[in-house]
Chains A and B, each alone.
Chain A
């Protein structure tokens, strides 16, 4: 498990789904991706280095790492919002070279449109695809029902609670039926109770839609709660440190003993990286 390459080469043995055959073909394939940034004083800083990973169809993959490890950068690259300095990314064997309808992102700030109703927000992606009015309305309603918000179809965004906004954003992204749904620390700003509810909701929606999800978080317990696999990134530059398959039964609960046990394993490795981050910060502070 310590060497991620081995893990990727080996066939998945973690759990068996009926559509096992099609699972062999990765949905999203990241091959040797690096991303460097130029700092204002001209130095080149590597944010990500030689990242390779496969996301299987229908998989719930969580990416975890200390802050500053480039997890959000990696997500931007996979979603086509940013271009890697080296390496390539493939969606269903096709090279990703820009944001596409097949790659949908839910950002932490959500970006719901306050000038539209809940239903119109969910319809938005379908409208942009040029889908005819009655069809897109029907499909948007289906997804609103999926997240239990159909009675709020004509509300405006500011009238909703934090958790409801999350569910609208989820429905809005799902309605475009993306190949991969990316979520960038979506629940970080929620209170603990609402976050628990959103975990349940997301797990249920994921099961019902079999949506492939890549979920970025710094919260290990959240990752263990939700993911089929957890990929742990190292502190700057971000590399794949380890990959943990999570074979706990679903539905999971944050209080479960075996969940806590697994989380502790992941956390032990994450701590090493956090310590590196802290050391680096001290070194910077000492210099100044």
Chain B
């Protein structure tokens, strides 16, 4: 409760400072709108449904792109972890590709797919797939040998050893891979959506710029922050807390 009040007070103060700076007229209002103008832009965006449609379209894209990354990232990570040849070859390729910022895939995507839905999905997938792959791989490789030894000793072999020992033992890593993958996917999606009339949140952001409407830019930024935060809080934090309490990891306060 106290922590909540602290939060509330600090945020209120930030808004107050914002409003004071606005009132001081250091910058012209079209470059530095007041918080009330931003709230007004938010309200307007929701009442004419452009924000709702934008959110819907962006969420659909991330569901497809991130979903693809989860499935294939996990598969690829498992394959690389369990095969020394793949680890030596594809493994190092994956590592070097991961150092590419996902926006680097954009020119390639536009040339291959044109200004299309597929170009955006491609960027989302390239942005998140490898993060999931790398974490899966290191998760599986870091499973303490003793678990495998104990599992085999208790009669687990082949697919059962995989399903009942290897997979649950690497779960904490897999979750952090999914979390990282989500963060990358979300960033890639917004940048990808900025390139053309794609109707998503990234597009709304660019539209604000084109119309010189700073309030809309800030409103959409707020929306992107909010959605990213909600997924992280509601989903990942709960899953991680659950795993922590089972495994007895020190709780991060």
Which residues of A pack against B, CB within 8 Å?
Answer: 79, 81, 99, 101, 104-105, 107, 109-116, 124-125, 127-129, 156-159, 172-173, 176
User: Closest 9 A-B residue pairs measured CB to CB?
Assistant: A158-B248, A111-B150, A125-B154, A111-B146, A128-B155, A115-B168, A114-B247, A109-B146, A128-B156
Evaluate contact between B246 and A128: CB separation under 8 angstroms: no
Bound CA span A38–B164, Å:
34
Contacts of A113 in B (CB 8 A): 147, 150-151, 165, 168-169
CB-based nearest B residue for A103: B153
B20: Cβ under 8 A from any A Cβ: no
Residues on A with C-beta less than 8 A from B10 are none
Residues of B within 8 A of A176 (CB): 154-155
State whether A111 touches B149 (Cβ < 8 A).
Answer: yes
Cα-based distance from A105 to B155 in the complex (angstroms): 11
Is B155's CB under 8 angstroms from A159's CB?
A: no
Q: Which of A81, A115, A156, A172 contacts B154 (CB 8 A)?
A: A172
Query: Given A113-B168, A127-B164, A159-B248: A99 and B153 within 8 A (CB)?
Result: yes
**B249 to nearest A CB, angstroms?**
8
Instruction: Report if B209 contacts A (CB, 8 A).
Output: no
| Residues of chain B within 8 A of A111, CB atoms compared | 144, 146-147, 149-151
Q: Which residues of B contact A110 (CB under 8 A)?
A: 146, 150
Residues of B within 8 A of A172 (CB): 154
Across the two chains, which residue of chain B brings its CB closest to A102?
A: B155
- Is B160 part of the binding interface, using a Cβ–Cβ cutoff of 8 Å? yes
Name 6 extra pairs, CB < 8 A, besides A109-B146, A114-B247, A124-B156.
A81-B153, A105-B149, A111-B150, A125-B155, A128-B154, A172-B154
Of A104, A105, A128, which is within 8 A of B160 by CB?
Answer: A128
Q: CB-CB < 8 A to B168: which residues of A?
A: 113, 115-116
CA distance A111 to B145 in the complex (A): 9
Tally inter-chain residue pairs, CB-CB below 8 A. 64
Give every chain A residue within 8 A of B151 (Cβ-Cβ).
Answer: 111, 113, 124
Flag if B169 contacts A115 (CB, 8 Å).
yes
Q: Does B171 contact A (CB under 8 A)?
A: yes
How far is A176 from B156 in the complex, measured between Cα atoms in Å?
12
Chain A residue at minimal CB-CB distance from B146: A111
CA distance A81 to B156 in the complex (A): 14
A158–B154 contact, CB under 8 A?
no
A-side contacts of B169, CB under 8 Å: 113, 115
Between B154, B169, B248, the greatest number of chain A beta carbons within 10 A of the residue's beta carbon is seen for: B154
Q: Within the assembled complex, what's the spacing in Å between the Cα atoms of A105 and B168?
A: 22
Instruction: List the B side residues contacting A112 at CB < 8 Å.
Output: 150
In the assembled complex, which residues on chain A have CB atoms less than 8 Å from the CB atom of B152?
Answer: 99
Q: How far is the CA of A128 from the CA of B165 in the complex (A)?
A: 11
Contact, CB under 8 Å: B247 / A158: yes
Q: For residue A125, which residues in chain B have a CB less than 8 angstroms away from its CB?
A: 154-155
B160 touches A156 (CB 8 A): no
Chain A residues near B147 (CB-CB < 8 A): 111, 113
**Could you tell me the distance in whole angstroms from the C-beta of B201 to the nearest C-beta in chain A?**
37
Minimum C-beta distance from A80 to chain B (A) = 9
Q: A115-B168, A115-B247, A157-B248 are in contact. Are A101 and B149 (CB under 8 A)?
A: no
Q: How far is the CB of A117 from chain B (nearest CB, A)?
A: 9
B171 touches A115 (CB 8 A): yes
* Known contacts A114-B247, A115-B169, A176-B154: A124-B164 contact under CB 8 Å: yes
